[in-house]
Amino acid sequence: LKNLEIFLDSSMAIVGSRGRIVVITFHSLEDRIVKQKFRAPAVAGSVLTRKVVAANQKELQRNPRSRSAKLRAWERS
């Protein structure tokens, strides 16, 4: 989990203007870290996904493992 925090901090600093970071998490602790980093970033930016993006029913039927996947996106100003 510490590596995830380090990755998010460094990638948010490196990404250029209008650059985007998209993260897929599979565990609630991972999701909490990503959510907190995106809501209170060290650099100016905005959250692109107000609510988490999750798999729909069709995807769940094709791929049951996707039930725990959550996608969040952030864009640098």
**How big is the chain by its Cα radius of gyration, in Å?**
13
CATH at residue 64: 3.40.50.150
pLDDT tens digits in sequence order for the chain, 77 residues long:
999 999 999 999 999 999 999 999 999 999 999 999 999 988 899 999 999 999 999 999 999 999 999 999 999 99
Q: Which whole-number Å values give the CA distances from 53 to 13, 35, 71, in the listed order?
A: 24, 12, 5
Cut 0.75: pTM above it: yes
Provide the number of structural domains found in the chain: 1
Domain ranges, residue 59: 2-76
